[in-house]
Amino acid sequence: MLWKLVRHYAAPYRTWVLAVVILQTATTLATLYLPSLNADIIDNGVAVGDVDHIWRVGGIMLIVALVQLVTAVAAVWFGAKVAMSVGRDMRRAVYSKVDSFSSEEVGRFGAPTLITRSTNDVQQVQMTVLMTLNFMVMVPIMSIGGIIMAVREDPGLSWLVWTSVPVLLTILLILVRMLMPLFQRMQDAIDAINGIMREQIMGIRVVRAYRRERHETARFADANAALTDISVRIGRLFVLMGPIVTLILHLATAAVLWFGGHRVDQGLVDVGALTAFMQYLLQILVAVMMGSFMFMIFPRAIVCAARIGEVLDTESSVREPASPRQPESHAGSVEFRDVTFAYPGAEAPVLADISFTAEPGKTTAIIGSTGSGKSTLINLIPRLYDATEGTVLIDGVPVDELGREHLSGAVGIVPQRPYLFSGSIADNLRFGAPNATEDDMWAALDTAQASDFVRVRSTGSGDSAAKGLESAVSQGGTNVSGGQRQRLCIARALVARPRIYLFDDSFSALDVTTDMKLRAALTDYTEGATVIIVAQRVTTITDADQILVLEEGRIVSRGTHEELLASSPTYQEIVASQISREEIA
Ligand SMILES: Nc1ncnc2c1ncn2[C@@H]1O[C@H](COP(=O)(O)OP(=O)(O)OP(=O)(O)O)[C@@H](O)[C@H]1O
């Protein structure tokens, strides 16, 4: 998966990769050339007192060193550009994939892991691309070229290469083998810590309310300790690696000086050639070390790439139609035809044989006990999920044949759990209608009974204080009350002026008087549109043109308030539990 991902995302930057290969080759060749020039200066300049030779070869050395410097810097620059671009594109792809997911896929993966995969995992792959680009040319050329050059300088000492390289390689491979499983566990530990952190931040109020701080702190401490433990073990192995490699390098240098010294004494080799041999041996060992380092980062990148690939290979269960259909009328009627729905993995359906029509200009209300499937039913209209059997139609066209744009333009939903985004109140209100004017927004706020508190609202202090529509909303809408958040979400749906309004238990946080005022204003505002209201309170829906009573996922009765009062035992039960006999009368 790592190779497949990198090949795909690096393809647009082929030219830059080629530049890195050429530049790295030039750097490595220059690095390999320098020791033999050095040997030449010592043997043919210093040893025989030829100053001209020293100047001439010294000049060449300077030029070669300059070439090495410039090409090395340029190679790293291009390498970084490729790696960062690959990382950016991969992050973008993961983001847009997640964006296309339906509630099912988001629920299946879970938010914490989706966040880790699009940030930390992509970063690991990006880092591996950077390292690979830096080392992939240098390591093979330097090790093979180094061996050839070293043996050329003094074949008699070549046994030192054949012994030191395998020793270093063996030790490094043992370390890599020990590191591999640790890296895999590290990624899981990061996931776990992100998950706990997110859950605790989101649920901080509940944690406080139930005085669970100690328990939660202990849970976090355990996850933190696990991550620390793995990191320390990885760190220990890394720390061990430094001295071991240095020891081998020093032993190799000492061996070259010891055995080489004897050979110089015996006149078998020149001092310059011996110096060059030593430098080549060090270059070979450094190349081997870097090669092993590359192997060390691969296991982690492979794990990360697999996790990224899993997201990218997942297709949304709610798919865009290949050629979207346009309905003939744009009135906004909603029809359910024998709809059955089961959540993925669940055995029993939560909705069964649902058939009804919600007409434009009329209000359809859905009432039923907790868990009877009201929200699920509403969620099928904007395709948060697709029906398992049967069809949901808007203006006579099945919703899965409508384009996403068309569908989101037609349907305005106020979810059961109201959510606002960070930004100003105006930013939030313009979510579904970017061109809405201030008058449009105030009209929606008036209808949602939200204009009073928005008008006096102010955030920030001094000159930077923002007032009214420009006042700030924090992420999730946590700096407004539950009822205010609910009304702002209602206003957000109203501003877009869709043809179909879906209110999922949207009046629950309002007091009875505000609820009444809001519904009266709503009747005028939504005139001509299809309105579907899910409600817990009977008083919210007494005026509805049609009330559907849901029980365990089935419509058990339907009719107006009066009709149901007369005919439906379930409805009578609900009403009796909420309204006194006098009120009913
Ligand atoms: N994402 C999900 N995965 C699996 N089951 C779910 C999921 N969401 C809801 N359910 C189940 O489906 C059933 C219907 O849930 P739904 O939220 O539609 O009920 P509801 O009538 O809106 O309830 P409430 O009045 O409490 O909001 C419940 O039994 C619930 O446990």
Q: Give the tens place of pLDDT for each residue, 253-298.
A: 899 889 999 998 998 888 888 898 888 888 888 888 888 778 777 8
Report the run of H or E that residue 438 belongs to, with start and end. Answer: helix 438-447
Whether ipTM exceeds 0.85: yes
In ligand 1, the atom with minimum distance to the C-alpha of 534 is 22
Residue 498: which residues within 8 A CB-CB, separation 6 or more? 332, 409, 410, 411, 412, 432, 529
Residues 14-28 have a mean pLDDT of 94
CATH number for 2-312 (one of 1.10.760.10, 1.20.1560.10, 3.40.50.300, 3.65.10.10): it is 1.20.1560.10
Instruction: Give the model's pLDDT for residue 584.
Output: 53
Tokens 């892991």 belong to 113
Q: DSSP readout, 529-562?
A: SEEEEE-S-GGGTTT-SEEEEEETTEEEEEE-HH
Q: 375 pLDDT band (50/70/90 cuts)?
A: very high
486 lines ligand 1 (CB under 6 A): no
In ligand 1, the atom with minimum distance to the C-alpha of 104 is 1
The answer to whether residue 11 scores a pLDDT higher than 70 is: yes
Residue 196: which residues within 8 A CB-CB, separation 6 or more? 219, 220, 223
Instruction: Give the model's pLDDT for residue 188.
Output: 83
In ligand 1, the atom with minimum distance to the C-alpha of 379 is 18
**Domains of the chain, residue spans:** 2-312, 334-584
345 by DSSP, 3-state: which?
coil
Q: What is the CA radius of gyration of the chain?
A: 36
Say what the pTM is: 0.75
Structure tokens at 242: 């430094």
Q: Which residues pair with 356 in a beta bridge?
A: 336
Q: How many angstroms separate the alpha carbon of residue 376 from the centre of ligand 1?
A: 6
145 lines ligand 1 (CB under 6 A): no
Query: Long-range pairs for 48-54 at CB < 8 Å and ≥24 separation?
Result: none
348 lines ligand 1 (CB under 6 A): no
Q: 580 pLDDT band (50/70/90 cuts)?
A: low
Q: How many angstroms separate the alpha carbon of residue 149 from the centre of ligand 1?
A: 73
The answer to whether residue 581 scores a pLDDT higher than 60 is: no
Residue 460: which residues within 8 A CB-CB, separation 6 or more? 466, 472
Residue 415: which residues within 8 A CB-CB, separation 6 or more? 489, 504
d(CA 416, CA 487): 12
Does the domain formed by 334-584 have CATH 3.40.50.300? yes
pLDDT 10s digits, 79-125? 999 999 999 999 999 999 998 888 888 888 888 788 889 998 999 99
User: Length of the chain in residues, anyone?
Assistant: 585
502 by DSSP, 3-state: which?
strand
Instruction: Give the model's pLDDT for residue 502.
Output: 95
577 lines ligand 1 (CB under 6 A): no
The answer to whether residue 237 scores a pLDDT higher than 90 is: no
d(CA 504, CA 366): 9
Phi-psi region at 199: left, alpha or beta (left = phi > 0; alpha = psi -120 to 50): alpha
pLDDT 10s digits, 416-432? 888 889 888 899 999 88
Q: Whose CA is nearest to atom 23 of ligand 1?
A: 371
372 lines ligand 1 (CB under 6 A): yes
Tokens 């109201």 belong to 418
Q: How many angstroms separate the alpha carbon of residue 415 from the centre of ligand 1?
A: 13
Q: How many angstroms separate the alpha carbon of residue 489 from the centre of ligand 1?
A: 21
Q: Whose CA is nearest to atom 10 of ligand 1?
A: 343
Angle, helices 14-41 vs 271-312, to 10°: value is 170
d(CA 162, CA 150): 11
d(CA 565, CA 20): 79
504 lines ligand 1 (CB under 6 A): no
379 lines ligand 1 (CB under 6 A): no
Q: Whose CA is nearest to atom 31 of ligand 1?
A: 371
d(CA 130, CA 360): 59
Q: Whose CA is nearest to atom 26 of ligand 1?
A: 370
d(CA 223, CA 203): 18
